Chain A
Amino acid sequence: MGHLIEFKDIYKIYQMGGTEVRALDGVNITIDKGEFVAIVGQSGSGKSTAMNIIGCLDIPTSGSYFLGGVDVSTMDDDQQAEIRNKMLGFIFQQYNLIPKLNVLENVELPLLYAGVPSNERRERAVASLKRVGLDDKSKNRPNQLSGGQQQRVSIARALAGDPSVILADEPTGALDSRTGRDVLKFLQTLHQEGNTVVLITHDNSIAVTAERIIRLQDGQVIYDGDSHAPQALVQPHLEDDSEEVTA
């Protein structure tokens, strides 16, 4: 078996008011099992589009996306839903918990859609909440918890289904820096336990948490390598701006 995630010549092109926007412009990426990768870029760089495609929330205009060796870029809605359910765990900036459901029910959701019987569902959700240290809050509603706690619930939910890839989209964006650090530390712990973690962020200081950085600019990969290399943190947009001015 090859790479866990493989982008082969991925294009995502939108038509916006007559002009063509290339959100992803020929992207080739491979991520292996057990890696901790940060996809970094300014807004408009295409990182959100990349995240949507990795997360099977969107399909590319052209190119192929292999997840676990299976081409998922041509799947229909329901097939993608099944892939999301079995292989992906999402951590969102806004936590995306369902306010009507209590913490335990929120964590149970992916297992519910996986068709796990209710007893097992409960056990696994409780175990997942224990991992983030919130098993005592299982009957609380999300809005009764702090932001950091809510994000930990969403991590517990992402882990509940035992996914192949944990996909974190600006997971610290809505948190203060201390709780943000805790969340990043937890992602590192998950990585050390052998999980594959993909972190999407615009913030270099967060991106360095990962081992590897993939930097996107105007829909293209402009850096892909060690997060500790000096060039990993270069922000090339100033040069681009000057080019645009002269053009």
Chain B
Amino acid sequence: MDIRQSFILALKSLATSKMRAFLTMLGIIIGVGAVIIIISLGDGMQKLMSDQFESLGANLIQVNIFSSGSSRHVDDSDMYELVQDNPKFLKAVSPYVMVPGASVRNSVETFTPNSLTGVSEDYASIRGMTVDEGRFLQYVDVARMQNVCIVGSYINEEYFSGNALGQQIGISGYTYTIVGVLAESAESRKGTDDDTIIIPYTNATRLSGSYITIYLFSGTSKDTATSTRAIIEKRLQRIFQDEDMYMVITSAEMLDMMNSMMNTMMVVLVAIAAISLLVGGIGIMNIMLVSVTERTSEIGIRKSLGAKRRDIRSQFIIEAGTTSAVGGVIGIIFGIAMANVAGMLIASLMGQDFSAIPSVTAIGIAFGVSVAVGIIFGYLPANKAAKLNPIDALRHD
């Protein structure tokens, strides 16, 4: 049997009854479209997260302390000691002290930056930050609690017209000197990492009046993240004797965890979308059964002319496969379009650089699955057609 002719015939019959064809394919279109949307957005989300983790520093280890109020506590010297004792695993440490809602003044106005953070001189290397102008914090700044600060590019442009270096700035009543401007990291927009002010952590604890509750370490390698965490936890356990008092998070493990969570969620969503493919397949089977009945006399004619069972079967299977493949292609186009629209919407809502990534693999699999659905659900009607008795079929009209 000529596959090409069956294929052309199938396309023709789709074209002659467009409404019916569309309704037949709808389940497949929705199913494939949904799968493409979910996978594209999921991949986009995963990329966004790993980009953000990358920008945090891939070997970042964060230690949170919950001990405030208890008699046991760690101080910064314990943490520095930890780095000195384990050069194989740890490179540097910086306390991380957030001063929430600090009001900041330049010569004309008062404003609140997105973040005011106290850190050590190693923070820039831990986070992979670079200074565009001037310098980052130095050991003496921290040790002597000097009133110096580094500002983000947004603050530089918004409040100092790009001339922040060397200017004075008022932070909660103290006058600070701007000694550095950070390189742009988020297109210099408000509310991002560019809308930030960095001061020595020693100053920050004084401003916020609290203990240091967060330490950021940089590890030597992603691969040793788990053992590095164990080393830090061992030290903290020795001090606190209570594992609820602290938490150690490594960015590598965190990223793995987030990725596996994302993957699980995507599998669940895709499984739900796949139900639509199943329904679509049943729709195709239904319409093919109708088609076999409608075309009983055609089947009879073909059989009288020498069509064997497999000729009739393949004709109907090709027709079902073509229907679902066309549905699959429409679904893929629809899915990519919707994913891009949704991606842009999410990007504008979150104010982040987000875009859907329709992967070639996903598209290939979606197309393959839609063809397979047609063939599987087309088999039963095709077999019914193939088994028709030629006389009964000829006499059908």
Contact = CB atoms under 8 A, between A and B. Distances in A.
B306 A85 contact: yes
A78 to B, nearest CB: 5
A82 interface: yes
Contacts of B12: 100
A40 B5 CA distance: 39
A110 B305 contact: yes
Nearest to B5: A112
Contacts of A161: 305-306
Contacts of A100: 9, 12-13, 298
A57 B304 contact: yes
A113 B1 contact: yes
A114 B301 CA distance: 15
Contact of A96 (B13, B297, B306, B307): B297
B9 A78 contact: no
Interface in A58-88: 58, 77-78, 81-82, 84-86
Contacts of B302: 98, 109, 113
Interface stretch (B188-196, B230-238, B264-272, B389-397): B389-397
Interface in B300-320: 300-311
A128 B319 CA distance: 29
Interface residues of A, number: 28
B301 A84 contact: no
A228 B390 CA distance: 35
B109 interface: no
Contacts of B305: 84-85, 90, 109-110, 113, 157, 161
Contact of A57 (B5, B13, B391): B391
Interface residues of B, number: 24
Contacts, number: 65
Given A96-B301, A100-B9, A57 B306 contact: no
A159 to B, nearest CB: 12
B304 A96 contact: yes
B278 to A, nearest CB: 30
A55 interface: yes
A57 B390 contact: yes
A109 B312 CA distance: 12
Contacts of B397: 94
B17 to A, nearest CB: 11
B304 A112 contact: no
B123 to A, nearest CB: 75
Interface in B13-39: 13
Nearest to B395: A48
A84 B331 CA distance: 43
Interface string A77-121: 110011011100010101011101100010001101110001000
Interface of A: 52, 55, 57-58, 77-78, 81-82, 84-86, 90, 92, 94, 96-98, 100-101, 105, 109-110, 112-114, 118, 157, 161
